[in-house]
Amino acid sequence: MMAEATFRQPTTRKALLDERQIELVQKILGYTMLIAVAALLILPLYWMISTALKSPRQMFELPPVWVPNPLEFNNFVQVFQEVPFGRFLLNTIIIVALNILGELFAVTLVAYGFARIRFPGRSILFLLMLSTLMIPYHVTLVPRFILFAKLGWINTYLPLTVPAFTGSAFLIFLVRQYMMSIPFDLDEAAYIDGATRFGVFWRIILPLSRPALVLVVVFTFVGTWNDFLQPLIYLNDPNMFTVSLGLSFFQGARETNWNLLMAGSLLATIPPLILFFIAQRQLIGGISIEGLKG
């Protein structure tokens, strides 16, 4: 036994070393691949930053200039000189905030109705709502414009914000699916304790739906922040324009101010980035939960 044990020890150590070495190689390979893929994904962002800091001449140099010299920080100043970019940012933030508020208000209530309340015609209404997802936006462009024009809403923020308070069909569907995954036992327990229907919504369902609500916030934020067509259609006064419209001023049909466009785009990505970093954990949690239960 003794001899066997002594005999085996070096073999085990060697095997362990082999395993460690293999693990190390695997790790190195894994990280190398991850770094390579990450570099590939970061490349467009880097190019945007690099172009934002180039002079017009450097933008067109061959071979391409990766690190501009000198760094043209003045491009960022020029963005604000060429268009009222600060005003555009403020306008966009106001519109985004109202949209988030509206979507959260409408989506949660409607989704709760579809998910938790049994009423005649619920399935038909839900299908009807879902079918609106199939209508391309451009089909309704003119009728919507006529409606808002008749209401006297053109050149105001109302067409860009009020519809959010009726809820987006896609987001309602998303939140409804999430709410359906919450056990009904919780509602029943709350009812037994004397909670009203709104109380169950407010105290039980809404807090438990937080990951889905984070998605609502993120989707609404990104969608509204990047929206080009609606502000273009409904706004006349350049002082009321949004960031996406403002950036388009740098992009003519025959000529584009690439350095200013990139500098402006870089500035425009900062608020969404801040939102992402704040909501990162819940956002990823929300996506994974949606993936599992949705």
Partner 1 sequence: MNKRLLLALALLALLLPTVLVVAQDEVVTVTWWATERGRDTAATRDMHFTLARTFEESHPNIRVALSLYPSRGFATRVLTAIAANEGPDVFYHYFAPDIANQGFLEDLTPYIEASGAANNWFPSGVNRGVYEGRTYAVPRDAAAGFVAYNKDLFDAAGVAYPEEGWTIADFRALANQLTNRDADIYGVGAIVGGEGCMLWSPFSFNLGAEITSPDGRDVVGYMDTPETAAAMTWCLELVTEDQVTAPVELQDQFGELVFLSGNVAMQSISDWELAAITEQADFNWAVVAPPRFDENTEVIPWTDSYMYYMWNGSKHKDAAWQLMEWLSGPEAQRIAAEAGVWTPNGPAVYQELGWDTDPIRSVSYNQLINSERVPNYLRSQYFWDCVAGPLSDARVRWIEGGERDVAAMLAEGAVQAQACLDDNYGN
Q: How far apart are alpha carbons 201 and 204 in whole angstroms? A: 6
- Nearer to partner 1 by Cβ, of 104 and 245: the residue is 245
* Closest to partner 1 by CB, 63 or 207: 63
Choices 111-119, 161-169, 236-244, 283-291; region in contact with partner 1 by CB under 8 A: 236-244
Amino acid at 147: L
Characterize 252-287 residue by residue with b for buried, 16 or more Cβ atoms within 10 angstroms of its Cβ, and e for exposed.
eeeeebbbbbbbbbbbbeebeeebeeebeebbeebe
Residues 131-190 that bind partner 1 (CB under 8 A): 141-142, 145-146, 149, 154
Identity of the residue, 223 or 294, whose beta carbon is nearer to partner 1 in the bound complex:
223
Of 1-9, 53-61, 198-206, 272-280, the window that binds partner 1 (rule: CB under 8 A) is 53-61
Q: Does the footprint of partner 1 cover residue 12 (CB under 8 A)? A: no
Rounded to the nearest whole angstrom, what is the least distance from the CB of residue 224 to partner 1 in the complex?
17
The reply on whether position 36 binds partner 1 by CB under 8 A is: no
243-272 positions binding partner 1, by CB under 8 A: 245, 248-257
Judged by CB under 8 A, the residue of 10, 44, 184, 237 near partner 1 is 237
Q: Which of 95, 47, 128 is nearest to 223 (CA)?
A: 95
The whole-angstrom distance between residue 217's C-alpha and the CA centroid of its chain comes to: 8
User: Among residues 168 and 257, whose Cβ is nearest to partner 1?
Assistant: 257
65 binds partner 1 (CB under 8 A): no
Q: How far is the CB of 272 from partner 1 (least distance, A)?
A: 21
Query: Could you say whether residue 82 binds partner 1 (CB under 8 A)?
Result: yes
Using CB under 8 A, which of the segments 11-19, 80-88, 127-135, 160-168 binds partner 1?
Answer: 80-88
Among 9, 15, 38, 56, binds partner 1 (CB under 8 A): 56
Spell out the long-range contacts of 219-223 with Cβ–Cβ below 8 A and sequence spacing 24 or more. Answer: 219/170, 219/171, 220/96, 220/99, 220/100, 220/103, 220/164, 220/168, 220/171, 221/96, 221/99, 221/100, 221/272, 221/275, 222/272
Residue among 48, 233, 275, 287 that touches partner 1 (CB under 8 A): 233
Q: Which is nearer to partner 1, 149 or 284 (CB)?
A: 149
Given candidates 41, 62, 127, 292, which one binds partner 1 under the rule CB under 8 A?
62
Nearest-angstrom CA–CA distance, 45 and 265: 10
Spell out the SS3 assignment of 24-68: HHHHHHHHHHHHHHHHHHHHHHHHHHHHHCCCHHHHCCCCCCCCC
Residues making contact with partner 1 (CB under 8 A)? 56-57, 60, 62, 64, 81-83, 141-142, 145-146, 149, 154, 228-229, 232-233, 236-238, 245, 248-257
